[in-house]
Homo-oligomer: A and B are copies of this chain.
Amino acid sequence: MPGAGRPELSGNRFAVTYHLIGTEAEAKVRAADICLEQTVELPEDLVMDENIRQGIFGQVVSFRPLEPGTFEAIISFAVETCGPELTQLLNVVFGNISLKPGIRVEYLDLPESLLQWFKGPRFGREGLRAWLGVPDRPLLCTALKPMGLSATEMAELAYRLALGGIDMIKDDHGLADQPFCRFEERVKRCAAAVDRANRQTGHRCIYMPNVTAPADQVVERALFAKSNGAGGLLISPGLTGLDIVRRIGEDNRIGLPIMSHPAFQGGFAIHPQSGLSHFVLFGQITRLAGADACIFPNYSGRFYFTRDECRRLSQGTVSPMGHIKPIFPTPAGGMSLEHVPEMREVYGREVIFLIGGGLHRHSPDLVENCRYFKSLVEENW
């Protein structure tokens, strides 16, 4: 990009697959609009600079009909439009056009020239298995709830869950720093309780407190969690912003596995004709941010994702993305123990089963229920 002291662009581009709703003519207009809206934000005739037109404008790489009223456009952008910033990558992919209906991001094709800027998950699937000492079966996760219990009560619950053989005990995503269950006290008590259970069982269960918090407290809470025996972290990037996941994931003082929670991400996920595909939102973007596991609503629970959406989502957690590791899909949201055998067909064994309330239903003995849960994944996988 010569002239006026501008450095040359590398020529490296990344590509975004969009689904566009409308007639063919409308979809073509929309594709052309994305090329401008997501970059120069000016009508084409107001940008006469040939270097900007060639280098900065988005470019329609391909355009084809998918089904009546739906078209696929693949649009490429210069990697320099984002640079090493996840916030700006999201901005170029879907910033302004998130405000226009009938545009859905289906797939990101990110070259190594862009991926090099991101470390991705610290653990990923293999690392998390090593961290937990579970080489091959599905991993078991549950949540501390309900909101309203004191830290002492949460710790007692955590103790019993760990005793029953659960691998990962996370805070319910609504546990923050409420006066009835302060963050620091909860972390100390729950980590100690899980540790006590581990010494009895000889297993390695981890406690994962929720570090979703005000912007200036996420890192602080993650550090506190690490220093006080937590074995992982839970965070809701819809509430905190996605890039803080990268921030805490890259921090060597923390160095814990991260599980993401979908709270406040629904706007992008539940409308089939707009937003981000499950593959992109819960797979590609969450991996790029550096979560090691991604919670999402399972098809048979109390939310509305379909089985096919969950299957495709699951593919997004493992699809090739250069050096960015695959992560664990973590279906949840009203799962019961009865669902486990059937879910193997969709998720195989590379999955974390997250069962919260359902774990309290099988029998009055919570420890026994956990053992039963574990037995379901130890057989025939």
Where the two chains meet, the residues of A that have a C-beta atom closer than 8 Å to any C-beta of B are: 1, 4-7, 9, 33, 37-43, 46-47, 49, 51-52, 55-56, 80-83, 85-88, 90-92, 94-101, 143, 145-150, 152-153, 172-174, 176-180, 212-216, 218, 236, 238-241, 243-244, 246-247, 262-271, 274-275, 297, 302-304, 333, 356-357, 360-361
Q: In the complex the two chains form, what is the Cα distance from A263 to B262 in whole Å?
A: 19
- What's the number of copies of this chain in the assembled complex? 2
Q: Told that A94-B264, A215-B218 touch, could you supply 11 new A-B pairs with CB distance under 8 A?
A: A4-B150, A5-B150, A39-B147, A40-B174, A85-B177, A91-B174, A91-B212, A91-B239, A97-B266, A100-B304, A241-B241
A243 touching B267 in the complex, CB below 8 Å, given contacts A39-B174, A83-B176, A174-B81: no
A215 touching B264 in the complex, CB below 8 Å, given contacts A80-B179, A147-B40: no
Cβ–Cβ contact A56 & B147, under 8 A: yes
Closest CB of chain B to A92's CB: distance in Å?
7
When distances are taken between beta carbons in the complex, the residues of chain B under 8 Å from A101 are 270-271, 304
What residue of chain B has the Cβ atom nearest to residue A276's Cβ? B267
Q: In the complex the two chains form, what is the Cα distance from A361 to B149 in whole Å?
A: 62
A91 touching B356 in the complex, CB below 8 Å, given contacts A180-B7, A247-B215: no
Closest CB of chain B to A241's CB: distance in Å?
3
Q: In the complex the two chains form, what is the Cα distance from A38 to B270 in whole Å?
A: 18
A174 touching B246 in the complex, CB below 8 Å, given contacts A80-B179, A148-B52: no
Cβ–Cβ contact B85 & A264, under 8 A: no
A270 touching B99 in the complex, CB below 8 Å, given contacts A86-B214, A215-B246: yes
Q: In the complex the two chains form, what is the Cα distance from A34 to B177 in whole Å?
A: 21
What residue of chain B has the Cβ atom nearest to residue A361's Cβ? B46
A98 touching B180 in the complex, CB below 8 Å, given contacts A152-B5, A214-B243, A215-B247: no
Closest CB of chain B to A259's CB: distance in Å?
15
Q: In the complex the two chains form, what is the Cα distance from A49 to B153 in whole Å?
A: 12
Q: In the complex the two chains form, what is the Cα distance from A38 to B172 in whole Å?
A: 11
Q: In the complex the two chains form, what is the Cα distance from A271 to B177 in whole Å?
A: 32
Closest CB of chain B to A37's CB: distance in Å?
8
